[in-house]
């Protein structure tokens, strides 16, 4: 059977367009109940964002689950975190703990001969610290961790810290083997500062920084315009700036990107990186 390349190309094009348009549509529709900013006072982004996460924490999972399924976000989380998070892990801006199910914890109680075979010890997570700024989001993720810990002893090595990831001074330099952020750079008041702190606490030798982020495409002007035009509404609904230039943020942070995959017309980036060599200069 011969494959007609034109047909394959057309099918891929139609699929990509559908996903791109769905992204713009889904992310701007049905959102959690939000506050009404009726006064003319200009509220700084950080305040608007924090206030919104406090409000939507309890409904966040219900509201976003369907959208994430349609967009295949679970696949991206599993692809990045399930296969690459290892050792002592810090996840910043953990939200409601949507990555929790993808971590592969070390099965410490496997027999030695199985561990010798490799898979259990290599590439597995020994400890997980979840850092989250919003108290309400942190409450939700703490409850989830407690529930999961009752079901699996591996989850006993998970801790939730309420804190701001632009100041991780409570963790020493190079404390973690893997540092993770998913969909956080769009919400941080100072995303470059957050990335620099994430690099500081990540091991110089063998440490990895894993990111899934959304932002402007820097390729498709029409789609970037949709994001720019919908920015204020999106902050009001979801607490994040969806039109940020992730490439520029990463360059400014001096992160050393190993690879970057683009999805959803380039609005989503999946990135594996290392602590930048120029960070300390
Ligand atoms: C869009 S949610 C993403 C949640 C989660 N990472 C996920 O993948 O579903 C962004 C999260 O970042 C948190 N956040 C915003 N600024 C933060 C900061 N400076 N430090 C830590 N967390 C922050 C918010 O409270 C919110 O939970």
Q: Tens digit of pLDDT per residue, the chain (281 long)?
A: 445 655 555 555 445 545 555 555 455 544 444 444 445 578 888 888 888 999 999 999 999 999 999 999 999 999 999 999 999 999 999 999 999 999 988 866 555 665 666 554 444 899 999 999 999 999 999 999 999 888 776 677 899 999 999 999 999 999 999 999 999 999 999 999 999 999 999 999 999 999 999 999 999 999 999 999 999 999 999 999 999 999 999 999 999 999 999 999 999 999 999 999 877 76
Within the chain, how many helices (H) and strands (E) appear? Answer: 10, 7
Nearest CA to ligand 1 atom 18: 164
Among 46, 73, 91, 93, name the best residue to mutate to test ligand 1's pocket (greatest count of ligand atoms within 8 A of Cβ). 93
What is the 3-class SS of 59-75, one letter each residue?
A: HHHHHHHHHHHHHCHHH
* Ligand 1 atom nearest to 137, measured from its CA: 27
Structure tokens that stand for 187 in this block: 């919400």
Q: How many CB atoms lie within 10 A of CB 187?
A: 26
Model pLDDT, residue 206: 95
Model pLDDT, residue 277: 87
- The CA 203 to ligand 1 mean position distance, Å, reads 23
Give ∠ CA 69-73-78 in degrees, rounded to 5: 115
Give whole-number Cα distances, 144 to 95, 137, 156, in Å: 11, 11, 12
Q: Pocket around ligand 1: residues whose beta carbon is below 6 Å from it?
A: 53, 92-95, 98, 131-134, 137, 164-166, 182-184, 187-188, 240
Enter the pTM of the model: 0.85
- The CA 186 to ligand 1 mean position distance, Å, reads 9
CB-based contacts of 35: which residues, under 8 Å, 6+ apart? 51, 52, 55, 236
């Amino acid at each position: 059977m011969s494959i007609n390349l034109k047909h394959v190309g057309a099918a891929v094009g139609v699929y990509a367009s559908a996903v791109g348009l769905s992204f713009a549509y889904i992310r701007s529709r049905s959102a959690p109940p939000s506050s009404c900013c009726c006064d003319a006072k200009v509220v700084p982004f950080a305040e608007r964002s924090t206030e919104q996460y406090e409000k939507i924490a309890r409904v966040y999972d219900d509201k976003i689950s369907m959208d994430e399924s349609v967009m295949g976000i679970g696949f991206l989380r599993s692809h990045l975190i399930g296969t690459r998070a290892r050792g002592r892990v810090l996840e910043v801006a953990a939200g409601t703990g949507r990555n929790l199910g993808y971590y592969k914890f070390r099965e410490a109680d496997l027999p030695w001969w199985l561990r010798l075979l490799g898979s259990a010890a290599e590439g597995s997570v020994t400890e997980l610290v979840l850092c989250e700024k919003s108290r309400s989001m942190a409450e939700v993720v703490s409850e989830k961790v407690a529930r999961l810990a009752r079901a699996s002893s591996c989850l006993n090595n998970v801790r939730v810290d309420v804190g701001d990831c632009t100041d991780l001074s409570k963790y020493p330099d190079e404390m973690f083997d893997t540092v993770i952020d998913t969909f956080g750079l769009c919400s941080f008041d100072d995303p470059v500062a957050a990335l620099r702190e994430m690099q500081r606490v990540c091991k110089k030798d063998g440490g990895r920084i894993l990111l899934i982020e959304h932002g402007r495409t820097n390729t498709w002007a029409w789609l970037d315009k949709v994001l720019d035009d919908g920015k204020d509404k999106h902050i009001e609904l979801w607490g994040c700036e969806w039109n940020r230039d992730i490439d520029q943020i990463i360059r400014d942070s001096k992160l050393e990107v190993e690879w970057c995959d683009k999805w959803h017309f380039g609005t989503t980036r999946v990135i594996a990186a290392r602590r930048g060599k120029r960070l300390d200069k």
